[in-house]
């Protein structure tokens, strides 16, 4: 079974580009355009990876807050898409290309 | 030390006898603010509240007092160097214990020997206060600069953030080539779309900085706002379509002329429309209308989108006002557009306002620009036109009402190539609308139109425009009877099909512009 990824990104064209890149990399991908959307998805499914473009500061991001309170074990699946590298979570620094994206994900 | 204070209070430390009070009285008599202090601790305690200068007698500063004073002075902020006036020459004071060298070059000190002439004391005090005022000036300037630097840092951070999303999309999409190295249309379009978005961002940014630096010059000319409004709509339409948003424009029948830079006005309207589309969810509406009120042209853009909260309305035209908003982020935007709009509108001597009934209740933006004055409408081109009625003047306005698409297209192309402005219509009903709104010099009307026929078109046009438009009937029948019928119906002339360009040029020559003050088309 293909590894599943939830992409949480509000910038439409970027979200669709990531989704296509993931599909080509043989990942099963679902998209969320907003925090609320993402939380709805997370309530229904578990994912092998959660690609999240977070609000700043991260501690105030609704998706992170939801996970911390309801699915703390899922926090380790989070990969942040941000402007700068971080030490607390695996990060993809925007803009990133296909190879970088796939390198951060668990194997398909 | 109070950062916005510009205290000119002089504190005097002369604890022996009534010296302090005496000096205070003398200084106060000249209008200077003055107060005595009992001891060095009191003096040091009052320094943080803001002080203009200090007057001290040397006997008030034995070593421990001096040390205490020095310690307090060390704690001043970098801009501050309270001036000291030290009165020396006390008969009982031991010269050996004088220790002003401790101050070194770190402090503004004036030594005044006693007995002190009041003139000298006052002069020293005024000089000290003048130096203090300059320090306050520096403090305030530094604080403004710091604020500007912080603003710029915030700006750069937002800029960096806003560039990364479009670039991210472009990078990924550009790597989606197939095995043959080809990129499919959808990805190519994404790259183009995001590249254009980045271009607009960069252009808006540059414009904003040029406006701020006073480097934008307007190339003003008499312009019909209707044309610019339509051009702006064309630019914004694709994005509106993608979001299923209906854009409506009520084009007024009369020209709305302003003396303005058409490129900049288009930038103004496009930015407002883009903003409206950005903040309106799927299926919403954006309506634009133009009108003339009180000598000004008003451009109104109304949307039924997310609206603006009352507390945010006042700052809506500030840079970054929108960057905090989730929807703004989703579409990508730094809130530059509205800041630029305000600047450009103001350069034109106009005003722009935003209003909203609140969150979820849509918003309305109104730009007001001064109308072109009547005298300005008659341009040098008009004078040239009047002189050359023998030859066909370029730039005549023509409407073609013809249901045969090929005929219509061909004629339109040929006439445009000759420099005429051509609009067309494919049936009688549309024909009447177009003639009434365009008010052309000449309209060619096919008599055999579907719906209402050419004769009815002529009647309706005459009803509303009188003889201001030259109406030419075109039909396949060339008998005198046909010509008579046409003239009776209100036409000025009748020609047989196929109407060619030469016929039309002849007609234009025969019928020079009726209305000498007709507005030139820009």
pLDDT of B19 reads 84
Nearest one of B355, B356, B366 to B298, comparing CA atoms: B366
Average pLDDT over chain B reads 84
- What's the pLDDT band for B520 if we cut at 50, 70, 90? very low
CA angle, residues B3, B7, B8, in degrees to nearest 5 = 155
CA distance B325 to chain A (A): 11
Instruction: Answer whether B363's CB lies under 8 Å from B356's CB.
Output: yes
Q: Which residues of B489-500 are buried (b: 16+ CB within 10 A; e: fewer)?
A: bbbbbbbebebe
| Predicted complex: ipTM over 0.90 | yes
pLDDT of B382 reads 44
pLDDT of B388 reads 37
Q: Which residues sit opposite B300 in a β-bridge? A: B289, B366
Does B478 lie at the interface with A, CB-CB under 8 angstroms? no
pLDDT of B99 reads 59
Of A21, A33, A34, the CB nearest to B172: A21
Of A10, A18, A83, the CB nearest to B172: A18
Integer Cα distance of B40 and B69 in angstroms: 7
pLDDT of B91 reads 67
CA distance A89 to chain B (A): 19
Integer Cα distance of B161 and A81 in angstroms: 11
Integer Cα distance of B355 and B339 in angstroms: 16
Element (H, E) at B367: strand B363-370
Integer Cα distance of B513 and B77 in angstroms: 77
Integer Cα distance of A76 and B169 in angstroms: 26
pLDDT over 80 at B241, yes or no: yes
Integer Cα distance of B161 and A94 in angstroms: 9
Kindly list the residues from chain B whose CB atom is less than 8 angstroms away from the CB atom of residue A101.
Answer: 172
pLDDT of A53 reads 95
pLDDT of B518 reads 44
Lowest average pLDDT, out of A80-89, B97-106, B299-308, B376-385, goes to B376-385
Kindly list the residues from chain B whose CB atom is less than 8 angstroms away from the CB atom of residue A33.
Answer: 330
Integer Cα distance of B286 and B246 in angstroms: 6
Kindly list the residues from chain B whose CB atom is less than 8 angstroms away from the CB atom of residue A18.
Answer: 172
Q: With a cut of 50, list the residues of chain A below it in pLDDT.
A: none
Nearest one of B522, B319, B295 to B421, comparing CA atoms: B522
Alpha helices in B322-404 (DSSP H): 326-331, 337-347, 374-377, 380-387
In the structure, how many helices (H) and strands (E) does chain A have?
4, 5
Does B399 lie at the interface with A, CB-CB under 8 angstroms? no
The residue with greater pLDDT, B98 or B204, is B204
> Which backbone phi and psi does B367 adopt, to 5 degrees?
-105, 130
CA distance A21 to chain B (A): 7
Residue of A31, A81, A95 to mutate, testing the B interface (most B Cβ within 10 Å of its Cβ): A95
pLDDT of B155 reads 75
Residues whose CB is less than 8 angstroms from the CB of residue B456 and which lie 6 or more positions away in sequence, other chains included: B428
End-to-end CA distance of chain B: 62
Average pLDDT rounded to a whole number, residues B38-65: 91
Q: Which residues sit opposite B113 in a β-bridge? A: B88
Q: Cβ separation of B326 and A11 shorter than 8 Å?
A: no
- What's the pLDDT band for B246 if we cut at 50, 70, 90? very high
Residues B331-385: tens digit of each pLDDT: 555 567 888 899 999 999 999 999 999 888 999 999 999 998 766 554 444 444 4
pTM of the model: 0.54
Residues B155-210: tens digit of each pLDDT: 787 788 889 999 999 999 999 999 999 999 999 999 998 998 898 888 878 887 88
Kindly list the residues from chain B whose CB atom is less than 8 angstroms away from the CB atom of residue A21.
Answer: 172, 175-176
The residue with greater pLDDT, A101 or B490, is A101
Assess whether the previous peptide bond of B235 is cis (omega < 30° from 0): no
- What's the pLDDT band for B500 if we cut at 50, 70, 90? confident
Does A94 lie at the interface with B, CB-CB under 8 angstroms? yes
Integer Cα distance of B331 and B334 in angstroms: 10
Average pLDDT rounded to a whole number, residues B270-279: 91
pLDDT over 50 at B522, yes or no: no
The DSSP 8-state label assigned to residue B103 in this structure reads G
Element (H, E) at B148: helix B118-174
Does A16 lie at the interface with B, CB-CB under 8 angstroms? yes
pLDDT of B516 reads 43
Lowest average pLDDT, out of B62-76, B264-278, B322-336, goes to B322-336
Q: Which residues sit opposite A19 in a β-bridge? A: none
Average pLDDT rounded to a whole number, residues B57-83: 89
Instruction: Answer whether B292's CB lies under 8 Å from B261's CB.
Output: no
| pLDDT above 90: percentage of residues in chain B | 43
Beta strands B34-37; B84-88: pairing state: unpaired
| Residue that has been written with the tokens 């005595």 in this structure | B36
Residues whose CB is less than 8 angstroms from the CB of residue B437 and which lie 6 or more positions away in sequence, other chains included: B251, B253
Assess whether the previous peptide bond of B498 is cis (omega < 30° from 0): yes
pLDDT of B334 reads 55
């Amino acid at each position: 079974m293909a590894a599943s990824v939830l992409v949480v990104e509000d910038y439409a064209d970027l979200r669709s580009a990531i989704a296509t890149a993931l599909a080509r990399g043989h990942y099963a991908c679902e998209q969320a355009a907003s925090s609320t959307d993402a939380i709805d998805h997370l309530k229904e499914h578990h994912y092998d990876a959660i690609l999240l473009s977070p609000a700043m500061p991260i501690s105030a991001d609704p998706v992170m807050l939801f996970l911390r309170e309801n699915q703390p074990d899922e926090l380790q699946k989070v990969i942040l898409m941000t402007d700068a590298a971080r030490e607390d979570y695996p990060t993809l620094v925007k803009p990133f290309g296909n190879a970088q994206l796939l390198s951060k994900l668990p194997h398909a | 030390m109070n950062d916005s204070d510009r205290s000119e209070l002089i504190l005097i430390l002369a604890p022996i006898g009534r010296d302090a009070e005496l000096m205070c009285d003398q200084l106060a008599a000249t209008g200077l603010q003055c107060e005595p202090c009992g001891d060095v601790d009191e003096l040091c305690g009052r320094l943080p509240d803001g002080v203009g200068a200090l007057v001290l007698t040397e006997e008030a500063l034995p070593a421990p007092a001096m040390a205490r004073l020095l310690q307090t002075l060390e704690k001043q902020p970098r801009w501050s160097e309270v001036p000291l006036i030290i009165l020396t020459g006390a008969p009982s004071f031991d010269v050996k214990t004088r220790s002003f060298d401790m101050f070194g070059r770190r402090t503004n000190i004036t030594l005044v020997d006693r007995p002190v002439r009041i003139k000298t004391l006052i002069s020293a005090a005024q000089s000290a206060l003048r130096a203090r005022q300059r320090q306050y000036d520096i403090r305030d300037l530094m604080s403004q600069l710091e604020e500007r630097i912080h603003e710029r840092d915030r700006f750069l951070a937002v800029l960096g953030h806003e560039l990364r999303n479009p670039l991210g999309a472009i990078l990924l999409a550009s790597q989606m080539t197939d095995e043959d190295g080809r990129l499919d249309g959808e990805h190519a379009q994404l790259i183009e779309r995001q590249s254009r978005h980045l271009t607009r961002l960069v252009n808006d940014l540059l414009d904003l900085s040029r406006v701020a630096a006073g480097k934008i010059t307007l190339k003003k000319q008499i312009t019909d706002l209707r044309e610019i409004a339509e051009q702006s709509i064309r630019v914004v339409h694709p994005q509106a379509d993608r979001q299923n948003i209906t854009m409506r424009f009520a084009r007024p029948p009369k020209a709305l002329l302003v003396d303005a830079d058409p490129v900049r006005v288009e930038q103004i309207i496009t930015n407002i429309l883009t903003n409206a589309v950005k903040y309106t969810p799927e299926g919403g509406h954006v309506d634009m209308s133009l009108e003339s009120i009180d000598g000004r042209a008003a451009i109104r853009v109304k949307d039924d989108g997310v609206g603006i909260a009352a507390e945010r309305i006042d700052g809506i035209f500030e840079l970054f006002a929108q960057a905090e908003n989730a929807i703004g982020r989703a579409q990508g935007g730094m809130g530059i557009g509205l800041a630029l709009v305000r600047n450009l509108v103001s350069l034109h001597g106009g005003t722009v306002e935003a209003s909203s009934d609140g969150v979820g209740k849509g918003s309305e933006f109104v730009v007001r620009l001064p109308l072109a004055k009547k005298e300005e409408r008659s341009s040098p081109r008009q004078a040239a036109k009047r002189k050359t009625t023998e030859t066909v003047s370029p730039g005549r306005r023509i409407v073609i009402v013809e249901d045969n698409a090929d005929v219509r297209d061909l004629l339109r192309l040929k006439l445009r190539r000759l420099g005429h402005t051509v609009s067309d219509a494919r049936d009688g009903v549309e024909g009447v609308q177009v003639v009434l709104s365009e008010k052309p010099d000449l309209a060619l009307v096919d008599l055999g139109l579907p719906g209402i026929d050419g004769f009815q078109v002529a009647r309706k046009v005459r009803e509303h425009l009188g003889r201001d438009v030259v109406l030419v009937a075109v039909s396949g029948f060339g008998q005198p009877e046909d010509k008579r019928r046409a003239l009776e119906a209100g036409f000025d002339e009748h020609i047989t099909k196929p109407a060619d360009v030469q016929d039309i040029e002849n007609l234009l020559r025969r019928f020079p512009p009726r209305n000498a003050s007709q507005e030139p088309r820009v």
